[in-house]
Amino acid sequence: MAEETSWFSHYLDDRPREVGEYESYAELSDEGSQEVTVVSVESFLPDELLERIIAYLPIASIFRAQSVCKRWNGIVNSKKYISTNSPLPPQKPWYFMFTSCSEPIGYAYDPVLRKWYAIELPCIQTSNWCIASSCGLVCFMDNDSRSELYVCNPLTKIYKKLEELPGLRFSDCYSALAFWANRVSRSYTITVVKSKQVAGNFFQWDVSVHIYDSQTTMWLSPVTEVLTGWRGGDESVVCDGVLYFLIYSTGGGAPENRHGLLSYNLSARSSHGQLIRSFIPVPCALTCGRLMNLREKLVMVGGIGKPDRPDIIKGIGIWVLNGSVWQEIARMPHKYFQGFGEFDEVFASSGADDLIYIQSYGGPALLLFDMRLKHWRWSQKCPITKRFPLQLFTGFCFEPRLEVNP
């Protein structure tokens, strides 16, 4: 891989050499010079034990270990190691950032080492593709034609192209992509919520849920429902076996009712009328909402709109859904809100584990919030530069893992 697109290439400067070769040095004493032989303790370790030791390193250090010697390089790149060893303890989620004017080459942020690494993504061609991630895997769907769908590991570059969803090629519909992977069985589920306007009626939208199961490799479309006064959008997530997606008012309602939340139990396979009965109002007037799965709990990061002008943002809040009630967890402090871009009513946000990333579309600034510590902080400055005034920045969160593949 070319140096400019390899996020670990700066670790690979040294030529691998054999470990276990004896090295000597001269030790001087009063009795004269004496040559002492030094033997690497590592040379006596069996491969199985060395594999477990390497597994405790951060992901970036595991790639760096490849350049230590031929033996380490062979261990890290062996199919046996990749399939049976995951980093211990589990890694913090990374954030991949790229721009609207570039190829799918961007930078991934490691919150532990606080470093950015250049990565070239497979499969994806432009930044406007739908993206969802879970347990180290990332799902990409062409947002224009909706004819291409991939699941890949962004670190190993191993990917699989899936059969497209029949009947999804519509230019006049909204699609919300969600992806959930099982950590134990490593199977995964993909959901697409399609929203298409009913012919001749702006206030009525046909909303359907489509589900792909990696074990059966089949698509199912268990529910279709016509919503009046609401339409689907591009925001959805799966938490604990339940699909959640935001809906948007098509007009005629109160300002605070611009958004709502619907849910669908993926195991229930319920029929007509299930969606609208699950309606949950959002906690306040929102300029936008971003849904994410943090430890199988539904979390929403939203732009808080003014009561009389819901399209004007006055802050950013974080909520967790408990049953059908939203619990506010935090609000972005004013000093971060000013630096983030207080006039941007929409923004990107995603997260995993206990970490939430919030990014402005207008620049490469990236803000982190730790749900467990209730702590805000900026990331290190991203190497991406702004080339022209209308350039947009976007990104997504993923877990860095080597042992999972589609």
Place of tokens 């009513």: 345
Compare 200 and 327 and report the one with higher pLDDT. 327
CA distance 181 to 135: 6
Q: Is 90 exceeded by the pLDDT of residue 26?
A: no
End position of a domain, from candidates 36, 59, 89: 89
Within a domain: residue 357? yes
Among 11-25, 154-168, 375-389, the range scoring the smallest mean pLDDT is 11-25
Where is the domain boundary, 39, 64, 89? Answer: 89
pLDDT score recorded for residue 403: 79
**324 falls in which pLDDT band (50, 70, 90)?**
very high
134: pLDDT strictly greater than 90? yes
- Please give the structure tokens belonging to residue 24: 């000597």
- Listed range (94-98, 121-125, 131-135, 180-184) with the worst mean pLDDT: 121-125
Dump pLDDT digits (tens) for 43-83. Answer: 667 777 777 777 777 777 776 776 778 787 777 777 666 66
DSSP state of 102: S
Asked whether residue 406 carries a pLDDT value surpassing 90, the answer given is no
At 14, the pLDDT band (50, 70, 90 cuts) reads: very low
Residue 342's domain is classified under what CATH number? Answer: 2.120.10.80
Q: Are residues 5 and 149 in the same domain?
A: no
Instruction: Check whether residue 80 and residue 199 sit in a common domain.
Output: no
- Residue 286, domain member (yes or no): yes
Task: Identify whether 406 is part of a domain.
Answer: no
Residues 77 and 114 placed together within one structural domain of the fold: no
Do residues 70 and 183 both lie within one domain? no
Using CA atoms, how far residue 284 sits from 258, 300, 311, 316, 331, in Å, is 10, 12, 12, 11, 13
Average pLDDT over residues 203-215: 92
Among residues 70, 89, 108, the one where a domain terminates is 89
DSSP run (H or E) holding 334: helix 334-341
Q: Is residue 146 part of a domain?
A: yes
Could you tell me if residue 30 is inside a domain? no
Which residues face 206 on adjacent strands? 196, 226
Q: How many alpha carbons fall within 13 Å on the CB side of residue 177?
A: 22
Look at residue 28 and tell me if it is in a domain: no
Of all residues in the chain, what percent carry a pLDDT higher than 70?
77
Q: What is the pLDDT of residue 246?
A: 97
Cα separation, 370 vs 247, in Å, equals 28
Q: In terms of domains, do 77 and 202 share one?
A: no
Mark whether 60 and 163 lie in a shared domain.
no
Tell me the three-class secondary structure of 259-319, residue by residue. Answer: EEEEEEECCCCCCCCHHHHCCEECCCCEEEEEEEEECCEEEEEEEEECCCCCCCEEEEEEE
Whether 206 and 225 share a structural domain:
yes
Q: Is residue 251 domain-shared with residue 133, that is, in the same domain?
A: yes
Where residue 145 falls among pLDDT bands split at 50, 70, 90? low
Note whether 137 and 101 are within 8 A (CB): no
* Mean pLDDT value of segment 11-18: 39
Q: How confident is the model at residue 156 (pLDDT cuts 50, 70, 90)?
A: confident
Range of the domain at 66: 1-11+47-89
* Average per-residue pLDDT for the chain: 81
Instruction: Tally the domains of the chain.
Output: 2
Instruction: Say yes or no to pLDDT of 315 above 70.
Output: yes
pTM of the model: 0.82
- Range 7-33 average pLDDT: 39
- Would you state the pLDDT for residue 270? 60
Residue 248 lies in a domain: yes
| 8 Å CB contact between 366 and 349 | no
Are 74 and 144 found together in one domain? no
| Mean local confidence (pLDDT), 216-228 | 91
Mean local confidence (pLDDT), 270-287: 84
Whether residue 98 has pLDDT greater than 60: yes
Asked whether residue 286 falls in the same domain as residue 366, the answer is: yes
Higher pLDDT, 32 or 107: 107
- Indicate whether 185 and 66 sit together in one domain: no
Q: What is the pLDDT of residue 38?
A: 54
Find the range with the poorest average confidence among 73-87, 122-136, 249-263, 346-360: 73-87
Closest by CA to 278, choosing from 242, 329, 248, is: 242
Helix (H, G, I), strand (E, B) or coil at 86: coil
84 in a structural domain = yes
Average pLDDT over residues 133-150: 85
Residue 157 and residue 74 share a domain: no
What pLDDT score was predicted for residue 4?
36
